[in-house]
Each structure stands twice: as C-alpha cells, then as structure tokens.
Amino acid sequence: MSRALLSSLTLCWTVLFLLLTHCLTTAFASRAHSCREVKTAFQLRQIGPLKWVPETPGTDVDLLVCKHDGPSCCTRKMEESYREAAVKELVQNIRSYSFELKYLFSEHYTALQDTYQSLFPFSRDHLSSLFESVYSPLSSAVTPLISTLFSDLSLFIRNASSNVSVEAAVHHFYDNLFPLVYTRLINPGAAAAVTEGNDLFDCLRMTRQDVNPFGRHSREMAVELSEALRSARVLTGAFILGEEVMNGTELAPLTKECTRALVKMQYCPHCRGLTLIHPCGPYCLNVMRGCLASISELDMPWRQFVAILEDLTQAVAGDHSLELTLLGLRARVNEAILHAELHGPQLTATVDKLCGQSITESHSVQATTIKTVPTVTDTPPSFTNQSDAPAMEQLGKLSHLQSSVHVKPNKSNKDRTLKQIARGFMKYIARYKSFFAALPEMLCEGEVLRDELSCWSGDDVVERYSGRVVGNGVQAQRRNPEVRVRGADPMLAEVKDRLEHFNQEIQESIPGTGHRDTWDDVGSGEENSGECDDEDGCEGSGEVTPKIYSTPVPEVVKSPPHEPSVRRSNPGNSAAPHNLSIFTILLLTLALQWTLN
C-alpha cells in the first residue's frame, strides 16, 4: 500500500515538474521574442509615442544607424526620436556643467556693480565734505563739478563701451576748479568780476594746464584713478565676456556625424533589447571628443583668460586699491588747493599777464604782504590747513581699513566686501582652468560604469574597447574612429577669436597681466594622447580612469540620465531570467529530489 502511494506521489511530482518546465520554457520563448523592455525604456525616457515600438522584434527593418544582423526592436521613427533625444541629453548635460560657471560670472558681476554703487556715492560725499568743512567759499559752486566727476568715473567703470576718459574727466574737474580757487581763495577781490562764461573765467579755465596751479597733484590724481579704474572696468567687461563664451558653447550646433555617433553609442543597444548596457569608457571618450572638438579648441585661450581674470581681480581688490584710491581723492584735492594757495602771488602775476588785470587795488596791496615764491614748483606744501584736521584724521582711519567698503545687502549675500567677493571668485574660477579640456571626460562619467565586466563598443558587447583613443581638438580628430570631424565650427571659431583678441588687448594695455611661465595640462589639438595610454584613462578592459588635472574638476551637481528599471535581454536568445522567485526554485528542487528517490 505504501509503495503504491509512493508511486502515485512520484508520478504526480513528475507531471508537475514537466508542466512547470513547459510553462517556463514558453515564458522564456515569449520573453525572448518581445520588445517589452525596449518599450519600457522608451516610455521612461519619454523619447516618443509608445505606438512606435513594436511588440516583437522585426526582421525586415530599414534602419540608417542601428543596423545589425538579426531581429530588431527599432523602427525608422524610433531611430529619429533617438536622435532627437541624444542631442537633447547632450545639450542638457553640457548646460548642467556650464551652469555654475555662468552663475559665477553673473553673480560676481552683480556683486561688483553693487559695490560700485555703494563706493562711488560714499567717496563723492567724502570729497564734498572737504569743501563744506575747509573751503566753504567754494562749497556751493564746486558741488556740480564733483557730481560731474563721479558721474564720469561711474560711467567709465560700468560701461566698457563708453568713450569716457578718466584722465580727461580729472583734468576737466581741475580746469573748472581753478577759476573758483583763484577768485575765492587766492584773490577774493576778483570774485565779483568773474562769473562762469565771461572772458576771465574762460581764460582761467583754458590756461589751467599751462599755469599749472595745482602742481603735480592733479597729474598724480589722474594717473592713480586711471590705473585703479582701468582694472575694474576690464574686470567688469571680462565677466560679461565669460558669460557670453558659455552661452556660445551651449548654443553651438552638433554635426550630423556627431548625432549619428551619439545614437549609435546610447540607443542602438536598445534595438537589440540591451537597455542597460553602458558604453565602454574609451569608446565614449572618442564620441564626446569628436562631438566637442570645436569646443575643446577654446582650451588654450580660456586658460589665458582665467589667468587674466585672476590678475585683474587681485589688482582691483588685492590691497583695497580701488577703495583707497577713491577715498584718497579728498587728500589729493586738498593738497592741490594748498599748493595753489602757497604759490598765490606768482599765480596772480602769471594770470595778469595771460588774462589781464583781475584784482582790485585794495587786494593788490594786501597781496604784497605775502612772501613771494620765485617759481611754481612741484614741491609739496610743508603744512596742512588746521581746520582740515578732522577730515584728514577720518581719511587716515579709512586708509587703514582691514576690510573694504560694504556692498549693499542683498538676499543671498549680506555685508560682503569687495575683497571677499574677489577672494570667493578666485577660489572658484581656478577650478575651471581646464574646463574645456575636461568636458568630454566629465560627460562620459555619466555614461560609463566602472565595475562592469562588459560594455558596448558601438557594434557589440565586448570585454574591452579595442579602438584608438584620440586627443582633444580638431587636429586630433583626423584619427577618430567613431566621429568624422570636418573642421572647426564657425560659431565657436568666432568665440575663440573673441577670447584671443581680448587676451591680447589686455596683455598689451596692462603689461604682465595673465602671463604664466608654463601652462599645465595643455590639451587643445594635441596628439600626445593619440594612443590609448594611462593619461587617456583607457587602461584596462574598457574602463576609464579620470585624468588628474592641476586644478580640481568643477564641483557641479549633475543629474544622471533616467535609466529604466528593466533587465538586459537579447531577441533570439533564451537566457535564464533573473526574476525567478525563491519559492519556484525551491519547488523545482524538491520535485527533482523526489523523482530521483
């Protein structure tokens, strides 16, 4: 009885095992000849309408890029959608890396403008207080002159295309100041006879530079202001140019050869059901360096541009030079007026010869009591007006500030100083020195998995990529096996010319700016990485090791592309699935053991 029962149970388990085996085999066959996973990936990546994805692989498909022997889950419409998706993804990835650079330029440009808006009114009021407290007879008449001077200086530093000259603005200020000083301080008796626009006033104004009543102080003030504001103006223009360069990089069109290579690298595996396979590292480098060949040509002028930015930033904010120069105008103007007063008798004699008799008889007698100085020299006065002591003390405190004048508070950064702004900018811009040379590798970091045993080579799944890895730049691409590069993109060539012209212009106008003895990691158009070696990061079985640069790779948060949570499959192959439940495996094992027993 027990043997009969045992035989019956054995028969039942055998039948159950055969039924399960048949069901699984049927499931494998249906799964192997299904495009379900491709459709899932197509939907998750939002590439196009799902109706374009066939239910089963086709054998007679007219594809342009993803051609291969065997059934395919792709159609011509899908291939075109893949092309659009590949271009969109690359542009978005480039923008994700360039966003921080654009923000860096934009934020610091705004911060500098806010600093200037705070600094110029403060310095203007500081100079006006000199006339209010020390030279009150000139106060009301000199106010428009001071306003015009600072308006010209502000326009010069804010608008790089303006024709305002700092030296011309300073000389204009002193030309109009001389008639006031002469008639109200040196010869008060002539004040009634001199009004703006009459012959004597015009003569004093036009002969000021010949008479040289203010000695060396007017010339030194013009030179100091010109040097300090020139660096600030160039830095402002450089921030604008830097942002325009990044915009040009993002807007540059991709060639047909590039888009074809992108589709082949990213989406042709889907046509075979391989939705999770990743490209080989060296293969990805070839594709990206081919697509970005014209962008990589910006590497060398960009490095020089960054060096110029560093030097200009240091010149503007290194030792509070801009602030102290503007705040020092009060002392310069005071010394100039004191120089004119000290040499008043000789100035009067000179003016009488050039412009005619300008003083009254009573004042002439009073003037003879003043000790005559034989010549007008550039010797600085050996005294200072005692009534100017509070103002000079204030200037002394300002000239020894440990921090710069505060920027107008804003939502993100409050109480930032010019030196803090400069320090922050120099800290971050150094990270982007090799941005254009490193961009292809940074883009490949989102495409390559380093621990995979196999990868996509563009034609098949391999253990390692066997192709030649080329370097950056248009010149190196003649040996690129994946992308054909016909020449530099005209738009990016224009961007490169603008960078080179800016660099040359600044280095000629401000000697020593941006010069470096050596340039680390030169990458544009070089052939030194033409072979697959350690420096190219392609040693090993299809893996990429990031190249080590002299500055850190930009710390930009980059969102990886959406990857469908599906498994690899290959139409025509009945590989064992990975989603068998533990219960099913256990059931099959028990049935097999029972049958053997």
Q: What is the pLDDT of residues 415-434, one digit of tens each?
A: 466 777 777 888 888 889 99
Give the end-to-end CA distance of the chain in Å, rounded to a whole number.
Answer: 18
Task: Kindly state the tokens that stand for 393.
Answer: 């003390």
Residue 356: is its pLDDT beyond 80?
no
Which phi and psi (to 5°) does residue 281 adopt? -60, -55
pLDDT tens, position by position, 308-346 = 998 888 888 776 678 888 999 999 999 999 999 999 999
Residues in a beta bridge with 492: none
How does residue 158 score in pLDDT terms, banded at 50, 70 and 90? confident
Residues in a beta bridge with 456: 279, 461
The Cα 518–Cα 494 span in angstroms is 26
Choice among 2-16, 119-133, 239-253, 414-428 with the minimum mean pLDDT: 2-16
- DSSP state at residue 461: E
Q: 267 Cβ partners below 8 Å, 6+ apart?
A: 66, 79, 82, 85, 86
* Crossing angle (nearest 10°) for helices 490-509 and 299-317: 40
Q: Which range scores top for mean pLDDT: 1-5, 185-189, 216-220, 565-569?
A: 216-220
Three-state DSSP class for residue 72: strand
Residue 241: is its pLDDT beyond 90?
yes
pLDDT at 14: 53
**Whose CA is closest to 98, among 266, 252, 309, 235?**
252
pLDDT at 357: 59
**Whose CA is closest to 401, among 326, 506, 500?**
326
Residues in a beta bridge with 72: 58
- Average of pLDDT values for 43-59? 84
Task: Kindly state the tokens that stand for 155.
Answer: 């326009």
Dihedral-angle region of residue 79 (phi above 0 means left; psi in -120 to 50 means alpha; beta otherwise): alpha
- DSSP state at residue 565: S
The Cα 101–Cα 78 span in angstroms is 35
Contacts of 571-574 with C-beta under 8 Å, sequence gap 24+, read 571/32, 571/33, 571/35, 571/57, 571/70, 571/71, 571/72, 571/73, 571/272, 571/273, 572/32, 572/33, 572/57, 572/70, 572/71, 573/32, 574/25, 574/28, 574/29, 574/32
3-state helix, strand, coil in the chain (%, to 5): 60, 0, 35
How does residue 75 score in pLDDT terms, banded at 50, 70 and 90? confident
- Average of pLDDT values for 185-210? 75
Residue pair 306/432 in contact by the 8 Å Cβ criterion: yes
- Average of pLDDT values for 52-68? 83
The Cα 60–Cα 248 span in angstroms is 43
How does residue 7 score in pLDDT terms, banded at 50, 70 and 90? low
Dihedral over Cα of 41, 44, 50, 55: its sign: positive
What does pTM read for this prediction?
Answer: 0.69
Question: Across all residues in the chain, what is the average pLDDT?
Answer: 74
Residues found in the chain: 597
- Percentage of the chain lying above the pLDDT 70 cut: 68
**Whose CA is closest to 287, among 137, 80, 482, 532?**
482
Dihedral over Cα of 161, 167, 172, 177: its sign: positive
Name the residue with higher pLDDT: 325 or 10: 325
How does residue 528 score in pLDDT terms, banded at 50, 70 and 90? very low
Name the residue with higher pLDDT: 395 or 124: 124
CA distances from 104 to 240, 313, 426 (A): 11, 14, 10
How does residue 453 score in pLDDT terms, banded at 50, 70 and 90? confident
Choice among 29-33, 56-60, 131-135, 570-574 with the minimum mean pLDDT: 570-574
The Cα 570–Cα 577 span in angstroms is 11
pLDDT at 194: 56
How does residue 452 score in pLDDT terms, banded at 50, 70 and 90? confident
Q: 439 Cβ partners below 8 Å, 6+ apart?
A: 94, 97, 288, 292, 295, 296
Residue 111: is its pLDDT beyond 80?
yes
- Average of pLDDT values for 200-211? 87
pLDDT tens, position by position, 491-526 = 999 999 999 999 999 988 888 887 765 444 444 444
Task: Kindly state the tokens that stand for 194.
Answer: 């001199």
The amino acid at 390: P
Residue pair 127/329 in contact by the 8 Å Cβ criterion: yes
Dihedral over Cα of 73, 78, 84, 88: its sign: negative
CA distances from 473 to 260, 444, 448, 486, 494 (A): 19, 17, 22, 12, 16
Q: What angle do CA 228, 229, 231 make, to 5 degrees?
A: 75
The Cα 581–Cα 81 span in angstroms is 36
pLDDT at 501: 95
pLDDT at 426: 84
